[in-house]
Amino acid sequence: MDAQELREAYVNFFKERGHAYIRSASLIPENDPTVLFTTAGMHPLVPYLLGEKHPEGTRLVDFQKCVRTGDIDEVGDASHLTFFEMLGNWSLGDYFKKESIQYSFDLLQTVLKIPVDHLAVTAFAGEDGIPKDTETAELWKSHGLKDDQIFFYGRKDNWWGPAGQTGPCGPDTEIFFDDGRPKCCDACGPSCHCGKYTEIWNNVFMQYFKDADGKFSPLKQKNVDTGMGLERVLRIINGKETVYDTELFQPIIRKVEEISGKKYADDMRSFRIIADHLRAATFLLGDGVVPAKMGQGYILRRLVRRASRYMSKLGFDGVYMQQIAEIIVRDYSAAYPELKQNEKEIYEKLTAEEEKFHKTLAKGLRRFDEMLAENGDSKVLNGELVFKLYDTFGFPVELTQELAQEKGLTVDINDFNNRFKEHQEKSRAGSDQIFKGGLADHTVETTKLHTATHLLNAALRNLIDPDIRQKGSNITAERLRFDFNFDRKLTPEELKAIEKYVNDAIKADIPVVCKEMSLEDAKKSGAIGVFDSKYGQTVKAYIIGDISAELCGGPHVTHTGELQGFKIKKEESSAAGVRRIKAVVGKFD
Ligand code: SER
């Protein structure tokens, strides 16, 4: 079975069981400032897991593109990936454990054809007042699994979520492929890392909500959220040794061989890093991320620059990335048509970033060697040198860390961060950027943009048309994007007036007050909000003086003055009858 057949077989299996197919959401999460990327199939479905009605019903199925960045530096081994696809099915307050396990078992048998004795499953052992999940174990037994194929684990291994800092979560049953080799030791089981067991599917019984204080409360409805890693499953059912041996990666690897003149077998790590990073970069560009100094754009930059360095390690110093991206667009567009639609932009931005880094890579590497000499006998590379590499040659600090590690050195990261902050404070654009632990911290920025979105919404309703409603909102570390119903282009004068309205509110430094109230009271108070039902009976309203009262989960700044200033960058059409504004906050002259 090839990848597209697997995607289709999974979707069809669940369609036949009453599930509606929904398309993969963007890699950029809508309205969740606590994470950079969509990390699981359930992520775009959070409002519905919390009780909002999904337009397609209570049974859903999809394949979702995901990016997880916690392990970028591990990529290069046989299994770690930054970009991956997750096949998933959901019950939104519909079926629960019995049907979920029945469906999974049937799919494993009929579609994946994995023999029962090659399966192992886990169930929640019970912890923190939440009981042991014997029901799940019994259900698996009813399908023929033996006691020694069922393992109980606690919260560390058998609990999933939330995806961000708060959200729906619950105990799960994880399904593993057992390759049949003998156990490595007495304690060997699915949580062992010897390689005997590979996790292929995770069924989460989502019954709890974790709030910002870390407290768990029962959800309004019992959901099922499942996720199956496409790459791993494809590897297993086709008997391949690693995910890189599947057809998802082989054409990319062949192309890298052709370009570099080297063989995959001679330097698998470099080939894998290039293949993984450029696959992720292509998808991120396809979803509109652009290389930047912070947030999503910073991760994209790291991926491109790291791929560039590894290509150079293979001995090729030319511009090559578009050729790789072309293979990815060709092979993945059937499943993700946005790649084909945005093809031109993907190639342009990728090549521009590649060329930018290319100009300085060789020089930077030479400078790095000189630095080693300057650094003397110390095993710690001093922050000043590391900062120079960043500032002059555009080396992400993680890249320098990796180069240093190869020479048995570490980087004085605190010193680097202090210098970085100092530099940012000095530079004009720096005042609104934050750098933490070597990674751009986007939370402060997105919080400001979130408050700016409420002010913009208020300006549109108060100045242009009281019937304007939010149709969509998306916030990155760099900008806000706000969609609203309106049937014509706004004039330059109107845009100026909107900007002035928001800037006046910022100058007035109005407190932003959060009030908890019943849904009824909130409605009576005239507060607006498109997501009102998802917060249950008690809702939070953010009130900005007499300008804005909006139901919202937050977070927001405490005073509007923190935004410093507001600028509209673009006004355009988004769909029929829907306009889109992109805007930024910060200090403007
Ligand atoms: N959310 C769960 C996971 O990511 C199941 O989809 O594993």
Contact 207, 135 (CB under 8 A): no
CA-wise closest residue to 274 among 237, 310, 249: 310
In contact, 393 and 360? CB cutoff 8 Å: yes
167 lines ligand 1 (CB under 6 A): no
40 lines ligand 1 (CB under 6 A): yes
- Residue 493 region by backbone torsions, left for phi larger than 0, else alpha for psi between -120 and 50, else beta: alpha
CA of 513 to the centre of ligand 1 (A): 35
> Tell me, what's the pLDDT at 535?
43
Same domain, 205 and 280: no
Bond before 168 cis per omega within 30 degrees: no
Please give the Cα distance from 229 to 237 (Å, whole number): 12
Looking at the structure, tell me whether residues 227 and 263 fall in a common domain: no
Q: Quick one: 406 and 458 in the same domain?
A: no
| pLDDT tens-place values along the chain, 589 residues long | 999 999 999 999 999 999 999 999 999 988 666 778 999 999 899 889 988 899 999 999 999 999 998 778 789 999 899 999 999 999 999 999 999 999 999 999 999 999 999 999 999 999 888 889 999 999 999 999 999 999 999 988 899 988 777 889 999 999 999 999 999 998 899 988 888 999 999 999 999 998 888 888 999 899 999 999 999 999 999 999 999 999 999 999 999 999 999 999 999 999 999 999 999 999 999 999 999 887 899 899 999 999 999 999 999 989 999 999 999 999 999 999 999 999 999 999 999 999 999 888 888 899 999 988 888 888 888 888 899 888 888 888 888 998 998 888 888 888 888 888 887 666 544 323 322 222 233 667 888 999 999 999 999 999 999 889 888 888 877 889 999 999 999 999 999 999 999 999 999 999 998 887 777 777 777 788 744 444 445 677 889 998 998 887 777 888 999 999 999 999 999 888 889 999 999 988 7
The verdict on 45 and 60 lying in the same domain is: yes
Which atom, in ligand 1's list, is nearest to the CA of 204? 5
State in Å, rounded, how far the first CA of the chain is from the last one: 59
Tell me, what's the pLDDT at 357? 92
- Per the domain annotation, does 461 fall within a domain? yes
The reply to whether 318 falls in a domain is yes
What is the model's pLDDT at position 443?
Answer: 67
Query: What pTM was computed for the model?
Result: 0.72
Rounded CA-CA distance 44/151 in Å is 31
Residue type, 106: D
Specify if 516 maps to a domain.
yes
Identify whether 227 is part of a domain: yes
Tell me which residue of 262, 393, 264, 260 sits closest to 321, measured CA to CA. 260
The last residue of one of the domains, among 388, 423, 458, is: 423
Whether residue 515 is found in the same domain as residue 413: no
**Which atom of ligand 1 is nearest the CA belonging to 88?**
6
Cα 316 to Cα 143, 193, 309, 324, 358, distances in angstroms:
54, 36, 10, 14, 11
CB 121 within 8 A of CB 140: yes
Is 253 in the same domain as 232? Answer: no
71, 77, 232, 406 from 409: Cα distances, Å: 20, 22, 35, 7
- Residue 583, H or E segment: strand 578-585
In this structure, are strands 216-229 and 83-92 parallel, antiparallel, or unpaired? Answer: antiparallel
Q: Is the CB of 281 under 6 A from ligand 1?
A: no
Ligand 1 near 88 CB (within 6 A): yes
Residue 437 lies in a domain: no
DSSP H/E element including 142: helix 134-142
Residue 506 belongs to a domain: yes
Identify the domain boundary among 217, 242, 267. 242
Q: Please count the structural domains in the chain.
A: 3
Report cis status (omega within 30 of 0) of the bond before 555.
Answer: yes
Phi, psi dihedrals of residue 370, rounded to the nearest 5° = -65, -40
Question: Among the atoms of ligand 1, which is closest to the Cα of residue 163?
Answer: 1
- Nearest to residue 586, comparing CAs of 498, 472, 480, 469? 480
Query: Residue 450: how many CA atoms within 13 Å on its side-chain side?
Result: 23
In this structure, which amino acid lies at residue 203? N
Measuring CA to CA, how many Å separate 397 from each of 69, 292, 350, 440? 15, 14, 20, 11
Task: Say if ligand 1 is within 6 A of residue 62 CB.
Answer: no
Same domain, 417 and 527: no
Ligand 1 centroid to Cα of residue 83, in Å, is 15
Protein residue closest via CA to atom 3 of ligand 1: 227
Q: Is the CB of 45 under 6 A from ligand 1?
A: no
Q: Which residues contact 373 (CB under 8 A, 6 or more apart)?
A: none
CB 60 within 8 A of CB 85: no
pLDDT of residue 120: 98
Nearest Cα residue to atom 2 of ligand 1: 227
Predicted pLDDT of residue 385: 87
Q: How far is the CA of 64 from the centre of ligand 1 (A)?
A: 11
Single-letter amino acid code for the residue at 546: D
Q: Which atom of ligand 1 is nearest to the CA of 39?
A: 4
In a domain, 280, yes or no: yes
The verdict on 498 and 561 lying in the same domain is yes
What is the model's pLDDT at position 128? 80
42 C-alpha to ligand 1 centroid (Å) = 7
Candidates 122, 173, 176, 226: which one to mutate for ligand 1, based on the most atoms within 8 Å of Cβ? 226
For the record, the structure tokens of 405 come out as: 């590690």
Cα(289)–Cα(304) distance, rounded to whole angstroms?
13
Instruction: Confirm if 470 and 482 have CB atoms less than 8 A apart.
Output: yes
Are 122 and 174 spatial neighbours (Cβ–Cβ below 8 Å)?
A: yes
Cα separation of 262 and 267, whole Å? 8
| Residue labelled with tokens 């059937």 | 334
Q: For 88-100, b where at least 16 C-beta lie within 10 A, e where not — what string?
A: bbbbbbbbbbeeb
Strand partners, 410: 380
Q: b vs e for 104-139, b when ≥16 Cβ sit within 10 Å of the residue's Cβ?
A: bbebbeebbebeeeebbbbbbbbeeebeebeebbeb
The answer to whether the CB of 226 is under 6 A from ligand 1 is: yes
Closest-CA residue, ligand 1 atom 6, reads 227
> Around Cβ 569, how many Cβ atoms within 10 Å?
12
Give the pLDDT score at 435: 27
**CATH number, domain at 523?**
3.30.980.10
Residues ≥6 apart with Cβ < 8 Å to 76: 268, 269, 270, 272, 273
Residue that terminates a domain, selected from 391, 423, 455: 423
Atom of ligand 1 nearest to the CA of 227: 6
Whether ligand 1 lies within 6 angstroms of the CB of 170 is answered as no
Identity of the amino acid at 441: D
Q: Kindly report each contact of residues 238-241 with a partner whose C-beta sits within 8 Å and lies 24 or more positions away, as own/partner.
A: 238/1, 241/78
Q: Which domain holds residue 23?
A: 3-242
Identify whether residues 454 and 415 lie together within a single domain: no
Beta strands 439-440 and 435-436 are: antiparallel
Copy the structure tokens of residue 244: 């890189």
Any ligand 1 atom below 6 A from CB of 482: no
Looking at residue 522, its pLDDT comes to 77
* Cα 225 to ligand 1 centroid, rounded to whole Å: 7
Does 438 fall in a domain? no
CA distance 483 to 210: 30
Look up residue 78 and give its DSSP letter.
S
Q: Please check whether residues 230 and 256 belong to one and the same domain.
A: no
Separation of CA 201 and ligand 1 centre (Å)? 8
